[in-house]
Structure 1
Amino acid sequence: MEHSFFDELKSFMESGIYPLLGSTVVFLDPVRLLNESYSRFTISPSAYYSRRFDSNPNGDLVREGEAENLSESKKRKRKRKPKLSDLNEREREAEKRHQDARPLLLRAHRALLEASDLLGMLSKIIDNGSSSHCRRRADEVNFVELGKLWQAPLFEMSLCSRAPNNVDEGVEFDHCVERTVIPLFNNLISNEANDDAEAKFQSSRYILPSRSCFQMSDLRQVRDLIPELAHTEGALVALWMTNREKLRIFVEKELFPAWGVTDAAIFYWMKVKPDGSLICDLDSFHHRPYECLLLGYVNVNVDSECLATHKCLRSIQVIVSVPGAHSRKPPLGKLLLEHIPGPKPAKCIELFAREMVAGWTSWGNEPLHFQDSTYFLEKEGNIAPPGGINSLGNN
């Protein structure tokens, strides 16, 4: 048994994935998963895990700067769970969904708490000796607002290419071998190298993972995009959901049918603190400690193709992790890869993206948000392999 724990921990340190109940529940370290996209840089654990949590038994979340007002705010803002008879129809349906999922979520959390070997490592994994690297700049670029300006088509960014044999540590952006200036908005920008690339916009510096591309633009016609983007030999669609019942009904009854999504499945993302406790009470009516991911297939006959081309969407039901910055979702590409139908390697795109991943296309109005260099640490003594960054033209 000890040997099994050692093997699982070793595998976790390499992959960022720790199985808790076979393949039904897994714990993720997003930092390790994201670091697979980079060669010269690493995600700073303290910058990723920048949220602060209190230690009270109810598991309420405390953000930076709020600790001194915690006791008073709890007295004023804590809401009592309403009686079932006081709920409207949608609220009752949402509560029923919660009660249906509750036994699975409790089993998943119990499995985490029983993994004492993993829990013993979490605080060290999250701190990782880099606690001084968690402050953000006050002048952080707001790409959403910039994209609304009439000047948006005129904004340009500088892209840096390094020499393949450059081994100098901490090379500054101004000492790049080659710099390319290209339009930032409504332009598909690709890093085709097997190395991280660097970009500069205004006073901020950004890190682009290898073999990735992004497009900074609005997605106003997203309802019509999925059928156009889906591969004719099959595609997997995954959509993050809040716990609002109105939105859930819209996706299940209108959006997925309009996209032609079939065989829908649901995964749960359970959010925990570094000590393994939930970020809030499981039955908190106004703030659940989990989110839902709805998944399904387009252009796939599951009955005849599922076992032949990909693994069916039944093996993972609960994903557990310590959350990062507000609304930052854990990277699930590695987990979902075996579920993707069609030719390999799979072509993957994230819509409304706020960060980039190697091998993926990131599309949205702020795909560079979490690529800011303040989220990264630079490795020492790495050699930049050959390659370059391309602008693939305006769409």
Structure 2
Amino acid sequence: MEGEVNAHKLSLFQESGIYLLDDSNAVFMDPVRVLNRFYHRFSVSPSTYYSRSFKSPTPSTEPKRKRKRKSEEPPPLNDRELIALQRHKDARPLLLAAHECLMKSSELLDALKTLKSESTRVCLAGQHSFVDLARVAPQLEVTLSLRVGDADTDADPHQPQNGSQDSPSFQCFEQKVFPAFNNLVANDTMDDAVAEILNNQYIMPRESCFYMSDLGQIRNLIPAHADSGFNLIIVDPPWENASAHQKSRYQTLPNRYFLSLPIKQLTHSEGALVALWVTNREKLRCFVENELFPAWGVSYAANFYWLKVKENGSWICDLDHFHHRPYECLILGYSTGKVNNTDNQSKFKPVKNDRVIMSIPGDYSRKPPIADLLLDHVPGVKPPRCIELFAREIMGGCVAWGNEPLHFQDSKYFFKKMDK
């Protein structure tokens, strides 16, 4: 009986990318499978999504530095570090229990061994910096190729169609040209779309949009009517981070910039669930709790953990490493929207605290697609009207806003299915 249950759970995982562990408060996620549910002719390539985790170590040619002698006693922790340490101690039993459930799920761990061997047919290409392009070419245009009708062919959307009207490839695609910046570009079809900018191709999932701009233009996304607002708002701010700055991964912003985000104006009239990614810095956690959520009009609901593991299920680093923990936090809260309707507040569903989401991490700063795990707590209309702020990729059924929402949509992260 137990074997049948596990086989069923594994079958669901193969389709959905989400595996419910025996501990009901913990799940394992394969982001590639989750994302691929929104693509038809293309697939996200596991070898590029997990490039950081699956990269083979290369021997260093640099001479080894002499290790500094450790001082007899480490310097005492300051008050903020002591609070951070206590947060970690509180979370530690939850993380250990979730990880233990993962390591007992032998059928899931066996399935993870195939991730690296899955298709590696990747379209390699150079990648543009949209932050730079917005400065030097603000009038840049994007050509969006949309498949129209019901034709199911291997026709190239960038090649002229020479068939007759009876041919299945006749006018299979239509092209639309839009401003690339400060403009909403939408794929409102049930199929993938190909966006082309300066000869680079970017793959858009079905029913998705992106708005590429700096922070000063975000208010253009505020709907004219609250009934057209968003009831799921995911925020992944570019927090000031020494590692990101040193590695030139992306531009960061001081915390005060995030206070101006128009969360309440973006919120649907029936309210919204707000999901905010944060690091483990205590200064940041205090800022969110004492300044950011109050400024947004968001009430705290729960705290989730994203626990990062390797393909064999082990931690990516020591759980108790003080300056580099193998987990990040997702803070959830509720926004009542433009109108401060106290009735809405009472209708919000309580969220079970301390849920643990485990996955193999992708590229630097890339977060797993967590919308499916939040649906039960999203108030109002279904399917939810979703927006992701500071997005670097596009989710199906979601509006992606940021200064580089096409970053992980570059064709080099995908392969084309041969039979589509």
For the aligned pair, the TM-score class normalised by the smaller chain equals: 0.7 to 0.9
The equivalent position to 1:339 in structure 2, one of 377, 387, 402, is 377
Cross-structure match for 1:94: 84
Does residue 68 of structure 1 match 2:59? Answer: yes
1:23-172 alignment runs, 5 A limit: 23-52=24-53, 67-69=58-60, 83=74, 86-124=76-114, 126-131=115-120, 133=122, 136-137=124-125, 139-147=126-134, 149-152=135-138, 154-169=139-154, 171-172=156-157
Cross-structure match for 2:283: 246
Does residue 260 of structure 1 match 2:307? Answer: no
CA RMSD for the aligned pairs? 2.6
Cross-structure match for 1:191: 187
Name the CA shift for 1:106/1:341 in 2 (closer, same or farther; >3 Å).
same
Q: For 1:312-344, what per-residue CA distance to the aligned partner results, in whole angstroms no more than 9, with x for missing partners?
A: 310761000001111110001111111101222
In structure 2, runs of 5+ residues without a counterpart are 162-172, 217-256, 337-341
Distance 2:106 2:278 in 1: 31
Task: Calculate the TM-score normalised by the size of structure 1.
Answer: 0.85
* More off after superposition, 294-303 vs 357-366: 294-303
Name the CA shift for 1:373/1:93 in 2 (closer, same or farther; >3 Å).
same
Post-superposition offset of 1:22: 3.9
Cross-structure match for 2:410: 372
Name the CA shift for 1:131/1:79 in 2 (closer, same or farther; >3 Å).
farther
Post-superposition offset of 1:271: 0.2
- Does the Cα contact within 8 Å between 2:23 and 2:101 map onto a contact in 1? no
- Does the Cα contact within 8 Å between 1:25 and 1:316 map onto a contact in 2? no
Q: For 1:91-122, what per-residue CA distance to the aligned partner results, in whole angstroms no more than 9, with x for missing partners?
A: 11111111110111111111111111111110
* More off after superposition, 177-186 vs 213-222: 213-222
1:168-317 alignment runs, 5 A limit: 168-169=153-154, 171-175=156-160, 177-220=173-216, 222-224=258-260, 225-299=262-336, 304-306=346-348, 311-314=349-352, 317=355
- Does the Cα contact within 8 Å between 2:259 and 2:292 map onto a contact in 1? yes
- Does the Cα contact within 8 Å between 2:23 and 2:98 map onto a contact in 1? no
Distance 1:217 1:31 in 2: 27
Question: Which amino acid is 1:31 matched to?
Answer: V
Identity between Structure 1 and Structure 2 (%): 50
Name the CA shift for 1:336/1:363 in 2 (closer, same or farther; >3 Å).
same
Post-superposition offset of 1:172: 4.8
SS at match of 1:86: coil
Distance 2:69 2:409 in 1: 35
Runs in 1 of length 4+ with deviation above 3 angstroms? Answer: 70-83, 165-168, 174-177, 300-304
> How many correspondences in the alignment?
362
Does residue 318 of structure 1 match 2:327? Answer: no
Higher relative contact order (Cα pairs below 8 Å, separated by 6+ residues): 1
Q: For 1:163-219, what per-residue CA distance to the aligned partner results, in whole angstroms no more than 9, with x for missing partners?
A: 435443262523374322211000011111111111111121011111111100012
SS at match of 1:362: strand
- Does the Cα contact within 8 Å between 2:302 and 2:354 map onto a contact in 1? no
- Does the Cα contact within 8 Å between 1:355 and 1:371 map onto a contact in 2? yes
- Does the Cα contact within 8 Å between 2:274 and 2:335 map onto a contact in 1? yes
Distance 2:271 2:390 in 1: 22
Post-superposition offset of 1:156: 0.7
- Does the Cα contact within 8 Å between 1:219 and 1:352 map onto a contact in 2? no
Distance 2:397 2:20 in 1: 25
- Does the Cα contact within 8 Å between 1:23 and 1:316 map onto a contact in 2? no
Does residue 352 of structure 1 match 2:390? Answer: yes
- Does the Cα contact within 8 Å between 1:355 and 1:367 map onto a contact in 2? yes
